[in-house]
């Protein structure tokens, strides 16, 4: 870096005359340089406060015009230097962060996939936030480290030191958010395992649930306070590190002002919230311990292994920010800062946080798959308690092979045909006719009695006609035998007429059959045609309109024997 102050100003070398000067074997018009207030410095630059150009080989301007414009000049804020130590170390860290970014995407895909229906109480994005913040931190670190290369290559400090510092602070915020989301999601995962056997075991509106609702809001409030304190500011004074007086007057007061000193305390509050959230989850979702010492032992015992690394690394982040806010020599904002401090305290904690998360992501299963495994274990325990022995998975495949093929490759027609073969095909009547006839013959029924071998087989109408009462079986069979020789249409008409005569005996037809049908109806229940105690019209007295008989319908119903319901015809 060029170091110059007021004593570094040198006079223009003499030339051929009083209005001529020679800079790097090139003649310039000294009158024009003096008119435009150009000053020559010992670090090989010429500047008038607004414009700055290099004056050493191979960047010497070839000409200066009367209006003060240099021809073929090189701007002072140009990456003309070689990569230094700071840039070289930064490239190595950039490669590691790039690898961390790629592996984070892999773990995000592994743990972000859903194998169970999404639940309203546990949103899928909740398990992904820790990976989103890891991606953010890696991206911010890559931008900071790649712009850090130009911090060494620029001849005079300018925009690269601002970009490096800006994204370094964003990376620090992302590191704190990674640890917070890891702890918060671990508590959510413990709650999910706790309520999966019994969804109503934990309420969402109790004290525990309200604390878990407000903690993320409080954490992100303090994180955003840190953001608004550090990020939105004038970063231009950080560039003023071109000579010692400028560093003392501009750069150091800006890098160590009250806002940079207040930011780390906001991150300390965030770290305390992380510890409280971890203790809250252990208290409610792990076995409880009595006593202060036992609680401290239980906190260490039930804390996941990765948090032994994440919590100390997260504490280093605000501690190092506080250090550089008081000591400018160790700060990444310092162009000539101590490299060991910048990378060991500034970038290494975030890198380790990311890789601890990646290792944990690779060795742990997806939550949905783990939950399905736990449900399967609980189901096996319940079956064992109920003495239920389930067939192994290969049992169904063996049965399918025995049936003649794999069910999964069968079409719907083949499955239906296989089911029919198992049950038995054909119409139900044809399939069970012989069995029904045998059973009826044993019971002495006439309706399903066997047909004589000497008789002709009957038509469908004749067979349907046989399902009549036993009293009319002889006449119905004779009619059916007569109808069997007729044409189809005539047979149908005769059958319908005969059936109508049987069902409605008073509508016409054979009087003897009608009388016989009435006698059969009279056999069960009270006689429905008994004359009531009303007189005829001839026996009624004139003008009264009522009979002279003392027998009434009510009396008849009282004196008659009680009705005995024997069939649906009585009702």
User: For residue 447, what pLDDT is reported?
Assistant: 44
Judge residue 45's burial from the number of C-beta atoms within 10 Å of its C-beta, 0-12 exposed, 13-18 middle, 19 or more buried: buried
Q: For residues 70 and 62, what is the distance between their CA atoms, to the nearest angstrom?
A: 7
Residue 380, number of CB atoms within 10 A of its CB: 12
Dig out the tokens for 304 from the structure.
């996941």
- Quick check: bond before 476 cis, omega within 30? no
Judge residue 148's burial from the number of C-beta atoms within 10 Å of its C-beta, 0-12 exposed, 13-18 middle, 19 or more buried: buried
- The number of helix segments (H) and strand segments (E) in the chain equals 21, 8
Dig out the tokens for 132 from the structure.
């989103």
Judge residue 566's burial from the number of C-beta atoms within 10 Å of its C-beta, 0-12 exposed, 13-18 middle, 19 or more buried: exposed
User: For residue 199, what pLDDT is reported?
Assistant: 81
User: Residue 455 has what DSSP assignment?
Assistant: S
Per residue in 527-548, pLDDT (tens digit) is 554 444 444 444 444 444 444 4
> For the residues of 332-394, what is the DSSP string, one character each?
TT-TT--HHHIIIIIIHHHHHHHHHHHHHHHHS--HHHHHHHHHHHHHHHHHHHTT--PPPHH
User: For residue 4, what pLDDT is reported?
Assistant: 45
Asked whether 495 and 483 are in contact (CB, 8 A), the reply is yes
Q: For residues 89 and 84, what is the distance between their CA atoms, to the nearest angstrom?
A: 9
User: For residue 492, what pLDDT is reported?
Assistant: 72
User: For residue 219, what pLDDT is reported?
Assistant: 96
Euclidean distance between the first and the last CA atom of the chain, given in angstroms as a whole number: 117
Q: What is the pTM of this model?
A: 0.66
Per residue in 293-334, pLDDT (tens digit) is 777 777 787 888 999 999 999 999 999 999 999 999 999 999
Q: For residues 113 and 367, what is the distance between their CA atoms, to the nearest angstrom?
A: 9
Per residue in 557-568, pLDDT (tens digit) is 455 555 555 555
Average pLDDT, the chain: 78
Q: Show the low-confidence residues of the chain (pLDDT under 70).
A: 1-7, 291, 398-410, 422-489, 491, 498, 501-511, 513-514, 517-518, 520-571
Q: What is the 3-state secondary structure (H, E, C) of 411-445?
A: CHHHHHHHHHHHHCCCCHHHHHHHHHHHHHHHHCC
Q: For residues 45 and 242, what is the distance between their CA atoms, to the nearest angstrom?
A: 12
């Amino acid at each position: 870096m060029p170091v110059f102050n007021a004593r570094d100003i040198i006079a223009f070398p003499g030339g051929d005359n009083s209005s001529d000067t020679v800079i790097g074997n090139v003649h310039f018009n000294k009158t024009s340089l003096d008119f435009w207030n150009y000053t020559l410095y010992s670090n090989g630059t010429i500047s008038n406060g607004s414009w700055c150009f290099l004056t050493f080989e191979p960047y010497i301007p070839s000409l200066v015009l009367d209006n003060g414009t240099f021809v073929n000049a090189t701007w002072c804020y140009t990456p003309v230097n070689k990569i230094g130590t700071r840039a070289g170390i930064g490239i190595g860290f950039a490669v590691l962060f790039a690898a961390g970014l790629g592996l984070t995407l892999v773990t995000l895909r592994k743990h972000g996939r859903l194998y169970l229906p999404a639940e309203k109480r546990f949103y899928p994005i909740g398990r992904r936030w820790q990976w989103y913040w890891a991606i953010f931190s890696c991206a911010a670190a890559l931008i900071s480290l790649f712009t850090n290369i130009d911090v060494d290559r620029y001849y005079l400090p300018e925009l690269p030191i601002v970009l490096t510092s800006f994204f370094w602070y964003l990376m620090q915020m992302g590191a704190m958010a990674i640890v917070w989301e890891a702890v918060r999601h671990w508590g959510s995962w413990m709650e999910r395992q706790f309520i999966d056997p019994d969804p109503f075991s934990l309420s969402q509106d109790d004290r525990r649930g309200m604390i878990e609702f407000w903690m993320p809001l409080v954490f992100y409030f303090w994180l955003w306070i840190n953001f608004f304190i550090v990020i939105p500011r004038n970063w231009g004074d950080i560039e003023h590190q071109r000579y010692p007086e400028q560093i003392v007057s501009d750069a150091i007061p800006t890098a160590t002002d009250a806002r940079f000193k207040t930011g780390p305390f906001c991150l300390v509050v965030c770290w305390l919230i992380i510890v409280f959230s971890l203790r809250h989850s252990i208290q409610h979702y792990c076995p409880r311990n009595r006593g202060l010492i036992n609680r401290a032992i239980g906190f260490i015992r039930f804390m996941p292994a990765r948090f032994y690394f994440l919590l100390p690394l997260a504490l280093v982040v605000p501690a190092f920010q506080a250090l550089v806010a008081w000591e400018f020599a160790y700060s990444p904002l310092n162009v000539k800062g101590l490299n060991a401090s910048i990378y060991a305290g500034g970038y290494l904690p975030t890198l380790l946080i990311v890789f601890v998360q990646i290792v944990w992501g690779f060795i742990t299963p997806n939550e949905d798959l783990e939950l399905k495994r736990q449900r399967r274990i609980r189901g096996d325990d319940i079956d064992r308690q109920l003495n239920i022995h389930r067939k192994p998975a290969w049992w169904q495949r063996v049965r399918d092979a025995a049936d003649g093929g794999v069910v999964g490759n069968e079409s719907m027609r083949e499955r239906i045909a296989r089911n029919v073969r198992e049950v038995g095909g054909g119409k139900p009547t044809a399939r069970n006719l012989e069995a029904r006839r045998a059973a009826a013959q044993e019971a002495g029924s006439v309706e399903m009695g066997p047909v004589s071998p000497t008789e002709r087989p009957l038509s469908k109408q004749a067979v349907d006609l046989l399902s009549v009462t036993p009293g009319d079986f002889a006449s119905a069979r004779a009619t059916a035998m007569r109808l069997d020789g007729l044409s189809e249409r005539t047979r149908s008409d005769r059958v319908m007429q005969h059936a109508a005569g049987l069902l409605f005996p008073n509508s016409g037809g054979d009087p003897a059959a009608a009388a016989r049908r009435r006698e059969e109806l009279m056999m069960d229940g009270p006689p429905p045609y008994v004359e009531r105690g009303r007189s005829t019209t001839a026996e009624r007295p004139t003008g009264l309109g009522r009979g002279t008989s003392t027998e009434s319908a009510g009396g008849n119903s009282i004196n008659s024997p009680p009705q005995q319901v024997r069939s649906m015809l009585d009702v």
